[in-house]
Every structure is written in structure tokens, then in C-alpha cells.
Amino acid sequence: MAFRKAKKIINPRRRKGEQTFGHLYPTDGKSKVLKRREWKGVKDTFYDYTRWLYIMSILAKFVAKPRNVKAMFRYRWMANYLAVPHMMDKFTLGLRDEPLRITHIAMNFVIKDIAGLMDDTFRGDRNTGNDEEFSRHCVLTDENGMTAFMMGFDETKAILREIPTMFVANLLTQHSAEHYIDVAQEYGLPGDVCPMPETELGLSIDDDLPVLGCCAVQINTTCDGSMMGNGLIAKRLDEEGIPTYQLAAPIRHREDDVQEYAAKEIKAAIKFTEEMSGEKWNWKRYFECADRVNNTTRNRLEWLDVNSTDYPQFVGAVFSLYNDTNYLGNCGRSPDFPPIDRKIMKLVHQGYKRKTMMAPEYRHRCIVWGVQPQYNIHMLTWMINCWGVLPLTDMLSMVNTRIIADEDTAENREQAYYDMGWLNENMIMRNRTHGGYKVLVDELWEFCEVMNADMVMMWEHMSCKALVGMHGMFEEQGRERGIHVVWVSHDLCDPRITSRQSIRDQFNQYMRTVLREEPLDPTIENIPDDTMW
């Protein structure tokens, strides 16, 4: 079967400001940041600068509190947060007009949300703020777990302490996880497990996780490794006097015969949280949150609809990270998200009407599948700039599409446990990597049809056993369907195993040797960013 070809679309509008980006990268082999910021034309550079100031204001407010300064000296991973403004530059390279604004609005809100989470964390943390009363109203939850079971609590806060320590830290600086990976391995963990739970475990062993909360709720989140790492972390929490509850999310989440189990687990987790926090579950609040979850679902589906056209607007790493924050971390609990969604939606529609493009040319329509290298997730922006390959969506964004009950009735109160169970089972990543091969393999090809994609860029996270266990099937079925499957291997958060350039090289090689194409911007085919944050 012949391979598909995407329609080539030339951007009729010349990009304002700089056209190539290679010269922005330092060549001294030492620098951690770009030589200078990108010139995007007067209007967009000014906008970009104001957003940079906004980020600085968030950071300034954060460091104005003594407990947060104390945390800077107490926790090794806090040093990564010096790189926040630099992270934004990685995501906005080459962007103008609506996509630039969408990226800033989404990511700035993510930054604000994380800053709030960290502020709360340090407030209750025994090692820094040590506000015992506040700590009594906090529940530690898993980084990759849906916080659905917290949707009906007004006062009690969910603290996802692995988000700032592992997940975001590695977005900011590529070497952030290495020390903790080494700590876990020195303790006896083999080096072939996924480095994400490995890092989280290393943080716990190294006594570098904030300690707070009336209790913790652990979930068998994304994989065997994640689930198993919880045991030792719970033991550590036990020693700190923080009781844990293990909330089981069934693996085969599409099957009808596991839903009752999931619902009962949620019910038990809520009961445990009520007992530990002393707060009663509030149905009114739950249904308000459920309404916001539905709002998020509808918005995301609409953005995906736009991404199915010739002129996508909200794509790439930022699309993924915003969904991550909105679905997992927030799960309808914050009323601050819907206004942000609305702002983004307005820009998406505007950009679509104006046929705004992010590169001089679109050559391929690509679905990004698999698990991203956290330290190189901005490679999706690079794909657009370097090769004109448009990342329409990614596996982590293809999460729940079901509308849950959001009206407070007696019947819906019972249904709510099933809905929360469903959300919990379908948390980001595991809703694809687990649940049988159909959700991982078959549905990928369905998305390729719907979104008119001719290419799949497959992040092959080498320690993700659920994903690589279907390697051959992806190869064979991709060939049968005439879809280019570009394999890009990496080790999630450890650049010592696969550097950023060696990840890009795998993509470069496919583009040059299989597709026989030349890059749109050859100056960034090779980037000397091994030492950069």
C-alpha cells in the first residue's frame, strides 16, 4: 500500500521577525540559556515581553514569602525553578499571532497554578512553613492520579507534591531528575524501570519531598512501576505519621465488568478522606466541579476539531501540558480554569478564521503517540519550525470524552461514584497505555483517519513496558495503513541515556533518508543544547 501524503500548505503570510533560529543557541558548550530572546516583530515581541514580566511577577510574589525562600535552601530540586522564564522561550520559539498568545495564556496559567500548589505545599510542609492547622486540611495525592475523589471537598486541598518536584522540574531543566534516579538505584532499584516513579522514589528516599497533610491517597496510576513505587513511599509516610489509602483503579478500564469495582473504590477513598480530614463531602460542590469537567471536555473536543482542519491553532507540548493540568491536577476543582478556556477558545476561533499558520509551510500532519521525554517535550515546536511537521495532538491529550452527570439528583449522586471511577481509571497516559491494546493501537489509527494524519511520531519511552510491548503491531499496522511511523526512542526524564540531540537525530534521519526531505530551517537540525537548562 502506498504511503499517505498530506496536503502541503504554504503560508501566504511572511513570518515577522526572525526566520531561522540556529543562531540563537550558544556555541560555547557551557551556557544554559539562549544567547538572546527571539525577535518576533514589534507587536509580538512587546506582547512576549509583557508576558515575561507577568511570569516574573508570579515568581516575585512567590519568593516574597519567607517560607518559600527557606524551601529554596531546603530542597535541592527548587533550584530548577530559576529556569521558568527560559522554559517559556522553548515553547514559543517561532510562534506569532494567535498561537503565541494561546501558548502564553495556557502556560502562564499553568505556571500560576503550579506556583499556587508550591505555595500551599510549603505552607503546610513540616520542614518549611509548618502551618499545622493548614496541613490538617491537606491530602497528598499522586502526580498522575486524577483528583476526582477530591471534587466534593470545599476546605480540604489536594497536594500533588510530585508535580513540582519531578514533573515540572524536569520540564524546566533537563538534568533535574538525575540525582534522584541515582539515589533510588543506590538503594537497590534496578536501572531498567521507568525513571519517573524511580525519581519520585529517589525524592522520598533522599528526604527531599515536602511532608504535610492529614493523609495520603495513592493510586495505581500509569504503570506497574508507578504502582510499586507507592509502597515504599507509603512506608516513609507511615514513619512520618501520615496514613495512606491505596485507591485501586482497574486496569481494563473499558470493560463494563470493572466499573462497579472502580466506583466502590472511589466511595471508600472519599470515606477515608472524610475521616482523616474531618470534612464532609459536599454534593453541591461536586456537581459544580463536574460541570467544569464537562466544560473542559467539550472545549478540548472543539480544539481537536479545529486541529482536524488545515489550520490548527492549539497544538504541541502546551496543548498536552494544559490538558494535563486541567484534567489531572484540577479535575474541575478550580473555577479559574473556565475563563482561561474561554480566552483560548476565542483565539483558536480567531486564528482559524484568519488561517494563521505556525511555520512557513506545513508538510505533514502528525499525531504524536507514546510517552513524551519530559526534558524534551518542546521538540514538538521544533518539529514545526525545522521540518514543517504539524503535531495535531498527542496521546496524553486523547483522554476522557464522556460527559459526566452534572445535575444534583438522587440518581446522579449514585452515578457520580461511577463517573469519578471512570475519570480515575481514565487518567492521562494510563487510559492509553493500559486497558488492552485497542485503546493504544486500534484507536490511534482511528484518530489518524479523523484528523487526516499521514504520520505518527512515536515517542518510544524505552522503560514504558506497556507501550513497547506493542512495538511490532504499530510497525505492521502502520505499514498496512500507509502511515509513516517515526520511532523516537528516549528514557523519559534522563538525558544521560538519550540526549536531546540524539532524540532529534532519530527524527532527522527519518525525514532525510526515508522521506528524502530537506529541513525548512536547517540551522536547527542540530542544536548544541546538551548543557542548556
Partner 1 sequence: MKDLKYLMYFEDLLQSAHNELIRQAKDEGRICAAFTCENLPEPLMNLPGMFSVRLFAPHTTSTDMASYYMTSLLCETSRALLERSIEGGFNYADCLIAADGCTMMNRAAENMALLHTMDEGKPEFFYEFMEIPLKADENGLELLKLQCRNHILGPLHEKYGIDVSDEAIRKAVEEHNHVCRLIREIGDFRREDDPRITGYEFHILTLATYVAPKYLLIDKLEETLEELKTRKPDGKKWRARVAVVGSEIDDTGMIKLIEDCDTYVCADRFCFGSMPGRDPIVIDEDSGEDIFTQVCRHYTMQGQCPRVMNMEKVYGRKQYINDIAKEYKADGIIYEQIKFCDPWAYERMMGSVMLRDNYGFPVLSVDRPYNIESGAGQMRTRVQAFVESIEIKKLQGGK
Chain residues that interact with partner 1, rule: CB under 8 A? 187-190, 192-194, 218, 220, 223-225, 227-232, 234-235, 238, 244, 246, 248-252, 255, 257-258, 260-261, 264-265, 268, 434, 436-437, 462-463, 465-466, 468-473
Least Å distance, CB 524 to partner 1, is 30
| C-alpha of 273 from chain center | 26
- Per-residue three-class SS string for 303-362: HHHHHCCCCCCCCHHHHHHHHHHHHHHHCCCCCCHHHHHHHHHHHHHHHHHCCCCCCCEE
Instruction: Name the residue nearer to partner 1 (CB basis): 333 or 434.
Output: 434
Least Å distance, CB 465 to partner 1, is 5
Rounded Cα distance, 157 and 445, in Å: 39
Instruction: Name the residue nearer to partner 1 (CB basis): 48 or 265.
Output: 265
Rounded Cα distance, 441 and 467, in Å: 10
Least Å distance, CB 39 to partner 1, is 44
Instruction: Name the residue nearer to partner 1 (CB basis): 225 or 495.
Output: 225
Least Å distance, CB 89 to partner 1, is 34
Phi, psi of 216, rounded to the nearest 5 degrees? -130, 145
Instruction: Name the residue nearer to partner 1 (CB basis): 247 or 359.
Output: 247
Phi, psi of 218, rounded to the nearest 5 degrees? -100, 145
Residues 6+ apart with CB under 8 A from 61: 115
Instruction: Name the residue nearer to partner 1 (CB basis): 76 or 465.
Output: 465
Least Å distance, CB 359 to partner 1, is 33
Residue 187 CB-half CA count within 13 A: 17
Least Å distance, CB 167 to partner 1, is 20
CB 378 within 8 A of CB 91: yes
Instruction: Name the residue nearer to partner 1 (CB basis): 344 or 440.
Output: 440
Least Å distance, CB 248 to partner 1, is 4
Instruction: Name the residue nearer to partner 1 (CB basis): 255 or 530.
Output: 255
Least Å distance, CB 426 to partner 1, is 15
Instruction: Name the residue nearer to partner 1 (CB basis): 149 or 322.
Output: 149
CB 424 within 8 A of CB 217: no
Least Å distance, CB 169 to partner 1, is 22
Residues 6+ apart with CB under 8 A from 110: 321, 322, 325
Rounded Cα distance, 322 and 377, in Å: 13
Residues 6+ apart with CB under 8 A from 464: 194, 223, 370, 371, 433, 492
Q: What radius of gyration do the chain's Cα atoms show?
A: 22
Query: What secondary structure letter does DSSP report for 163?
Result: I
Instruction: Name the residue nearer to partner 1 (CB basis): 396 or 439.
Output: 439
